[in-house]
Amino acid sequence: MDGSLLVLGIAGPELAPEEAALFRKLQPAGYILFTRNIVSAVQTRKLTDDLRDLSSDTPIIAIDQEGGRVTRTKEIAPVAPSAPALAAHKDMVKIAEAGAFTGDLLRLLGFNLDFAPVLDLDHFPESQNALRGRCWGRDAQRVIDYAGQWNRWLRKRSVASCAKHFPACGRAQSDPHHDLPSSPATLEELLREDVIPYTALMPELDAIMLAHVEFPNIDADFPASLSPRIIRRFLRDQLGFDRHLVLTDDLDMGAIANRYGRGQDVKLAIEAGNDIALICHRTDTAEIADIALICHRTDTAEIAARAVAELPRWMTDEARDRVERFRRKLCGPLVWSEDKWAKTCDSLAALAAVVPEIETSQAASPVAGY
């Protein structure tokens, strides 16, 4: 088994013995935490410290912390303004503060990678495509200016960033958490608009996350997240993102889980050019006992690790080299300080008070509740 190309979710707010034993055996590239894992600041920092202790090398410890409704720490800290709210405010200083304070908060909690910023152009602002309340705008230049500023200041605080969802989840008209959206966009159309923020910000991006959206006029066989045409030939060869870490969106989302089995999905992801397969393991069925969740995770994580081990050596070596290069750049957590935590929370609250949130219609995607 080979867990080195996997980022895995955690069942709850602390590691169960069975879960810890699995992670010691698989040695995944890293972990992702969600609201279900976050009860208090001290508990969250202990959990991220425990995850680091399980790993022989520095693990990726990631979170989706975009601001607004996609804020996993909303139960323990003030929420930073969303991308639409900051864009509407048009204050580059406030955007810088949002990125910087987010970075400070995450490093205190022990995170080293934030799955943000969203670079999707908001083509369909009335569609329920999981992006409501998350996009910086429709105009590529505005996205470059605003998302670039936020990204810059997050990284200045020593938290790595991940732009998403390449090449253009904003062209989806349905929610990939439920099904696989399809867009008729051509490569030429994407080059004219959607990929411009990625290429403009290329030197300042640490990682790229792929969209679970199919573009049949570009690849008739696979969605973008599993497409060699889009990842190897377009993103890496044509656009030059060959040294960036590239990873899938959550493979447990309906867009993929409803069409591919565990193992097959991971193989297709790495074959397509992803360096990491992201397996978050949804826990949205409340009546399932914790032990059942752990057993499910053990089963699927081991299947995924066996699938990686079955891939050609040159392919996994190539991906592993990029993962290791990325991990060497990651910064350790800040020394825990109750005073620093309180000051960071106060800064976020003050920022939110002067940047009013924007009411968003149809913002019912499960992405906000994870």
Residues with Cβ within 8 Å of residue 203, at least 6 apart in sequence: none
Q: Which of 121-125, 230-234, 339-343 has the lowest mean pLDDT?
A: 121-125
**Which amino acids are annotated catalytic?**
177, 249
pLDDT band at 148 (very low <50, low <70, confident <90, very high): very high
The residue extents of the domains of the chain are 6-355
∠ CA 45-24-264, rounded to 5°: 105
pLDDT band at 128 (very low <50, low <70, confident <90, very high): confident
Contact 310, 267 (CB under 8 A): yes
Q: What is the pLDDT of residue 284?
A: 31
pLDDT band at 129 (very low <50, low <70, confident <90, very high): confident
Q: Which of 58-62, 123-127, 239-243, 354-358 has the lowest mean pLDDT?
A: 123-127
Residues 160-193: pLDDT tens digits? 999 999 999 999 988 888 899 999 999 999 999 9
Q: What is the pLDDT of residue 127?
A: 83
Q: What is the pLDDT of residue 362?
A: 59
Query: CATH 3.20.20.300: does it fit domain 6-355?
Result: yes
Does position 296 have pLDDT exceeding 70, yes or no?
no
Does position 364 have pLDDT exceeding 90, yes or no?
no
Residues 199-229: pLDDT tens digits? 999 999 999 999 999 999 999 999 999 999 9
| 132-155 mean pLDDT | 97
- The residue that leads in pLDDT, 285 or 260, is 260
Does position 289 have pLDDT exceeding 70, yes or no?
no
Output the pTM of the full model: 0.93
Q: What is the pLDDT of residue 248?
A: 98
pLDDT, mean over the chain: 92
Q: Is 296 helix (H, G, I), strand (E, B) or coil?
A: helix
- What share of the chain in percent tops pLDDT 90? 86
pLDDT band at 357 (very low <50, low <70, confident <90, very high): very high
- What share of the chain in percent tops pLDDT 70? 94
Does position 360 have pLDDT exceeding 90, yes or no?
no
Residues 287, 351: Cα–Cα separation, whole Å: 38
Q: What is the pLDDT of residue 300?
A: 87
Does position 125 have pLDDT exceeding 80, yes or no?
yes
Which DSSP category does 225 fall into? G
Does position 298 have pLDDT exceeding 70, yes or no?
no
Which DSSP category does 79 fall into? P
Residues with Cβ within 8 Å of residue 72, at least 6 apart in sequence: 33, 34, 35, 38, 63, 64, 65, 370
∠ CA 171-176-178, rounded to 5°: 140
Does position 290 have pLDDT exceeding 70, yes or no?
no
| 77-105 mean pLDDT | 98
The amino acid sitting at 333 is: P
| 294-316 mean pLDDT | 83
